[in-house]
Amino acid sequence: MASSAVIVFLKDERLRQLAQLIRNHEVNNLYHITFQNLGDQLEYLRMSNNNMTTVNTLLDNCNAIVIRYKDDAVRRPIAEQILAYTEHCLNNALQLIRNYTLRRSYLDKMTDHQLQLFQALEELDTSSGDAVLDFTESIQEHDRLVMSYMRLNLNSHASAEFSRYLRNVGIGFDELVRSYQSRLGYTGRFEDLEIEQKLEVYAAIIEASGRLSVLLPEQGKGDDTVLKASSITYREKKPNYGSAAMFLIDVGQIIWDVYSSDHPITTATREALVLAAETGGAALGKLVGVAIATQLTGQAATTLFVTAVGLIGGFVGGFILGAVAGFLFDRIFSSGGQAVLPTDGFIVYVATMPNGHDLAKQIAHI
């Protein structure tokens, strides 16, 4: 079996350094795109800059909270936990989400989540030992999940056999999701489920894939221990402080890799897409047609597959970039792949994006 990927969790200043380095690579790559007009170019450059600014702001906010409660014996340790948790979330954002237009959506959801945590800390009844313990355990649970998502995301090898099986039987992504939704007893349309229920369905697929095995060494378990889907879902009856929307992006990336990793994507497909969007971008539908014409077959020759790969995994490093990236991602994974994707009216671009995980290892001197 292949060895596990090297896991790097950078802290405050090194995270800022990583955000700056990624931004520099992105901006350089964007200058090689011929945009429809100057306004579009400025919009895409501004998004890259804003991503870096948001990373700094989220860290600054946490540091400010730690200072604010420096003399509060109850709140200060919790504020420090929120800082550590925020650092882990930002590592996921910068290292795992190479498509910076999708990262924008993640950072927006993370900002909302952080504000809810700060409000809960402010309103915490520090005279109640149960309330303090409950909030502390909630943050610890969030932190554990985020670190687990990092390990799950970086270890495709652990579910290779399952991915190969899915490709060989030719099952569609929507069919896979419906199957596990049914096993859990959830009826109706997937998109109508509560977001926590959606995460539960995806976790069940991840469990079935075998990928949870990569978490065992990290949790000090024995070889005979089998982890369940519940190990990567937030515990019921505890407030999630708006984290579910952010977690859907984390889990969505993992579940898509589980489903798609055995489908070969060639350099020829990437080059065809780059050429198609070379001047002024292209409608999503045009890119789908171009990709399929490069001899993609089976489930790979679908709008869903081409869009999801372009947003998440990339075509040999080439990503579909668009202001609608977050919308398209949510439409795919909030519906379990069942929603119809708009292929006209949205102009997208294709460009190579830096590998944040490789850059993080360089910064950490690994």
Cβ neighbours of residue 88 closer than 8 Å, sequence gap 6 or more: 9, 143, 146, 147, 150
Least-confidence region, from 155-159, 229-233, 273-277, 329-333: 229-233
Q: Which helix (H) or strand (E) holds 180?
A: helix 173-183
Is there a contact between 42 and 74 (Cβ–Cβ < 8 Å)? no
**Does one domain contain both 22 and 149?**
yes
Residue 3 binned pLDDT confidence (cut-offs 50, 70, 90): low
Q: Which helix (H) or strand (E) holds 204?
A: helix 195-209
Is there a contact between 340 and 278 (Cβ–Cβ < 8 Å)? no
Residue 265 vs residue 21, higher pLDDT: 21
Is there a contact between 205 and 175 (Cβ–Cβ < 8 Å)? no
Question: 366 lies in a domain?
Answer: no
Question: 250 lies in a domain?
Answer: no
**Does one domain contain both 128 and 161?**
no
pLDDT reading at 2 higher than 70: no
What is the phi-psi region of residue 336: left when phi exceeds 0, alpha when psi lies from -120 to 50, beta otherwise?
A: left
Task: Please state, rounded to an integer, the average pLDDT across all residues of the chain.
Answer: 91
Question: 36 lies in a domain?
Answer: yes
Last residue of a domain, one of 154, 169, 198: 154
Is there a contact between 73 and 132 (Cβ–Cβ < 8 Å)? no
**Does one domain contain both 164 and 135?**
no
Question: 85 lies in a domain?
Answer: yes
pLDDT reading at 54 higher than 70: yes
Domain span at 349:
267-357
Question: 350 lies in a domain?
Answer: yes
Last residue of a domain, one of 127, 154, 181: 154
pLDDT reading at 235 higher than 50: yes
Average pLDDT over residues 294-301: 85
Q: What is the CA radius of gyration of the chain?
A: 21
**Does one domain contain both 133 and 23?**
yes
Count of domains forming the chain: 3
- Sign (positive/negative) of CA torsion 128, 132, 135, 137? negative
Question: 150 lies in a domain?
Answer: yes
**Does one domain contain both 124 and 160?**
no
Q: How many CA atoms lie within 13 A of 279 on its CB side?
A: 0
Residue 318 binned pLDDT confidence (cut-offs 50, 70, 90): confident
How much is the pLDDT for 201?
96
Residue 266 vs residue 74, higher pLDDT: 74
> For residue range 331-343, what is the model confidence (pLDDT) as tens digits?
999 999 999 998 8
Q: Quick one: what percent of the chain has pLDDT higher than 90? A: 69
Question: What 3-state class would DSSP assign to 351?
Answer: strand
Question: 248 lies in a domain?
Answer: no
pLDDT reading at 80 higher than 80: yes
**Does one domain contain both 149 and 161?**
no
pLDDT reading at 364 higher than 70: yes
**Does one domain contain both 16 and 110?**
yes
How much is the pLDDT for 224?
45
Cβ neighbours of residue 99 closer than 8 Å, sequence gap 6 or more: 311, 312, 314, 319, 320, 321, 325, 353
> For residue range 89-144, what is the model confidence (pLDDT) as tens digits?
999 999 999 999 999 999 999 999 999 999 999 999 999 999 999 999 999 999 99
Which of these, 242, 208, 252, lies nearest to 226 by C-alpha position?
A: 208
How much is the pLDDT for 255?
96
Q: What is the CATH number of the domain that holds 34?
A: 1.20.120
What amino acid is encoded at 181 in this protein? Answer: Q
How much is the pLDDT for 317?
80
> For residue range 187-223, what is the model confidence (pLDDT) as tens digits?
999 999 999 999 999 999 999 999 998 887 644 444 4
| Letter string b/e over residues 332-355, b meaning 16 or more CB atoms within 10 A of that residue's CB | bbbbbbbbebbbeebbbbbbbbbe
**Does one domain contain both 280 and 203?**
no
Last residue of a domain, one of 154, 180, 197: 154
**Does one domain contain both 235 and 149?**
no
End-to-end Cα, the chain, rounded Å: 22
**Does one domain contain both 117 and 218?**
no
Instruction: Give counts: helices (H), strands (E), the chain.
Output: 14, 3
pLDDT reading at 230 higher than 90: no
Average pLDDT over residues 238-260: 90
Question: 364 lies in a domain?
Answer: no
Question: What pTM did the predictor assign?
Answer: 0.93
**Does one domain contain both 23 and 141?**
yes
**Does one domain contain both 135 and 206?**
no
